[in-house]
Amino acid sequence: MESLAYLHTALLYESTEPAPELRDLSELLPSPTSAAWLSAQILAAALVVGTAGSAMAATGTVQTNGNPLNVRSTPGGPVVSSLPNGARVELTGRRSGNYLELANGTWVSADWVAVGNTSPTQPPSGTDRAVGFVNTSGEPLNVRSAPGGAIVGTLPNGTRVELTGRSSNGFLERTNSTWVDGRYITYSQPPVTTPPPSPTPSPGVGAGSSTAFVRTNGSPLNVRNAPGGAVVGSIANGSRVDLTGRRSGEWAERTNGTWISSNWITTNPGTTPQPPTPQPPTPQPPIGGDQGTKFVATNGSPLNVRNAPGGTIIGAIANGSRVELTGRRSGEWVERTNGTWVSNNWLVDNPSGNVGGDISFGRVRTNGSSLNVRNSPGGQVVGTIPNGSRVALTGRRSGGWVQLERGEWVSGDWIVME
């Protein structure tokens, strides 16, 4: 009884203070027969304390649909890393809601961890890395510089890919630091299917085509960074091009992520596609056919060259120069085969003729007043010409206005041609 009293007192007190005085057990226990019960409880508590830590620890296996499993700093907290499908994990046994704690103090979702010795549905990688395969409907898979970033290449369907195990917004990181869309990656090699052949479109190359040829009037074909975007290069006439099958209007995507106009490519290397007929409300006839040659005919000054219809001046062409045109128009502006634009008002079919074909000289005939001179058709008055004066004309007209040789404009109603 003295031993039991001492053990009971030791369990109740853990202090550096002097030991308390012992009390008679009859004051603490309901009856002498309760001593056996107390001994059993003390023994059970000792067994629980000694075995609790090891009983709750466990081993699990990541089992997802093939994607890596996010690892979080706290239950439902920020993602700090990921584990490949099939990876083995050490668990502490602690659980918070639907999250399990790993041995390193991080947390994972219990929905994707099989606890115990259950074999994973996918073979474990053994490391943080994993191997997957491209699994699309037959199209190449875009490779990007960052999750959702710029396209830097493509991978054919069925290609084996080495993954680091990192993921971000549905994208998986490859071991060369590029990223691919995880929706098109499987962890068992899929059968490579050939997409059904598509009918040959005309003109140009339609969706699903993989190879085409550049066919222009001899000039290089512009390469752009996006549909209708900035020119980043060019391809020689007759060159073979590989296409992804993606289209945006007239633009077709190459396998390197750049874009070209489908109006100048064909699936048959021996034929030349014709550009589509424009369909504005009041279509303008193309210059000299779908494409052709004209000559600069100004009052002697060079003709400005622009980067777009009415856009920034990026150069000039000497009077009398020959220009090659694509046939594309936008108002008074016509496109050259190198992608730049010039005003059609200063171009003629015959290098020796006047623009517009008007007579070169005339005389001012008013009611006696001077004739106003303007800086543009109907524009600001910048001077006058006395009645009866002889004037030299370029032949250019705009409505009722005619252009003087020096570039200014006057009303044609008050000019009598010689």
Mean pLDDT lowest among 40-54, 132-146, 364-378, 392-406: 40-54
Cα three-residue angle 146-151-157, rounded to 5 degrees: 105
Provide the pLDDT for residue 106. Answer: 94
Mean pLDDT across the chain: 75
- Decide if pLDDT at 342 tops 50: yes
Are residues 291 and 325 in contact, defined by beta-carbon separation less than 8 angstroms? yes
- Decide if pLDDT at 163 tops 90: no
Provide the pLDDT for residue 129. Answer: 57
pLDDT in tens, 381-393: 999 999 999 988 8
Whole-prediction pTM: 0.23
Provide the pLDDT for residue 276. Answer: 53
**Contacts of 87 by beta carbon, 8 Å cutoff, 6+ apart:** 61, 62, 69, 124, 125, 128
In order of 324, 333, 340, 360, 398, the CA distances from 347 in angstroms are: 11, 11, 15, 16, 15
Confidence category of residue 208, pLDDT binned at 50, 70, 90: low
pLDDT in tens, 403-413: 888 888 899 88
In order of 21, 30, 32, 33, the CA distances from 27 in angstroms are: 13, 8, 11, 14
Provide the pLDDT for residue 37. Answer: 56
- More confident: 38 or 75: 75
- More confident: 162 or 1: 162
pLDDT in tens, 295-338: 888 877 888 999 999 899 998 888 778 888 988 888 888 899 88
pLDDT in tens, 282-292: 444 443 344 67
3-state secondary structure the chain: CHHHHHHHHHHHCCCCCCCCCCCCHHHHCCCCCHHHHHHHHHHHHHHHHHHHHHHHCEEEEECCCCCCEEEECCCCCCEEEEECCCCEEEEEEEEECCEEEECCCCEEEHHHEEECCCCCCCCCCCCCCEEEEECCCCCCEEEECCCCCCEEEEECCCCEEEEEEEEECCEEEECCCCEEEHHHEECCCCCCCCCCCCCCCCCCCCCCCCEEEECCCCCCEEEECCCCCCEEEEECCCCEEEEEEEEECCEEEECCCCEEEHHHEECCCCCCCCCCCCCCCCCCCCCCCCCEEEEECCCCCCEEEECCCCCCEEEEECCCCEEEEEEEEECCEEEECCCCEEEHHHEECCCCCCHHHCCCEEEECCCCCCEEEECCCCCCEEEEECCCCEEEEEEEEECCEEEECCCCEEEHHHEEEC
Mean pLDDT lowest among 53-62, 175-184, 281-290: 281-290
pLDDT in tens, 16-45: 445 455 555 455 544 544 555 555 555 554
Provide the pLDDT for residue 280. Answer: 46
- Decide if pLDDT at 193 tops 70: no
Domains of the chain from N-terminus onward? 2-56 (no CATH), 58-115 (2.30.30.40), 130-186 (2.30.30.40), 211-266 (2.30.30.40), 292-348 (2.30.30.40), 355-417 (2.30.30.40)
Provide the pLDDT for residue 86. Answer: 82
- More confident: 201 or 167: 167
Mean pLDDT lowest among 95-109, 291-305, 340-354: 340-354
- More confident: 191 or 136: 136
- Decide if pLDDT at 372 tops 90: yes
pLDDT in tens, 224-244: 888 888 888 888 888 888 888
